[in-house]
Amino acid sequence: MTTSSSSAAEKTLKMKILKLFFIFFMFLMIFSFVYFNNEENNAYILKTLELKGSFNAGDTLFKMNCVGCHGISARGLVGPDLNSISNRLNDTEIIKQVVEGLTPPMPSFEIDPQNMSNLLTYLHSL
């Protein structure tokens, strides 16, 4: 009888170790994904913030991509009112919102740093 009870204890111990290993592995995977994804976003954000944006180019971008949801005067339609948006969100938050589309139904946009800087300059004028 001691053989079967020690065998059961060994199996329980092995299962606990396996569970801990699995939890550690999942934590490591999630951490790696967040870390490396964040590094890429940080480089993009820093590059965008270094650039001097153009109001006219930002206005054009807004009219081409944003008026359908935010309206020609940026007072909101499907999307929210963007007037004084820079009082509610900082530049990093605005960039993340545009690039990642954090709040539905906002789509994500692939926009180069210079054009994002142009759009930021325009949004600051609202």
User: Residue 91: is it exposed, middle or buried by C-beta count within 10 angstroms (0-12/13-18/19+)?
Assistant: middle
What letter would DSSP give residue 125?
A: T
In this structure, what token pair is assigned to residue 28?
Answer: 């490591």
Q: Going residue by residue through the chain (126 aa), what tens digit of pLDDT does each one get?
A: 555 666 877 888 888 888 877 787 776 667 656 555 555 568 899 999 999 999 999 999 999 999 999 999 999 999 999 999 999 999 999 999 999 998 888 999 999 999 999 999 999 999
**Distances in whole angstroms, Cα of residue 70 to Cα of each of 18, 30, 40:** 52, 35, 28
Q: Map out the domains of the chain as residue ranges.
A: 1-40, 51-126
- CATH of region 51-126: 1.10.760.10
What's the angle, vertex CA 99, arms to CA 94 and CA 102, rounded to 5? 70
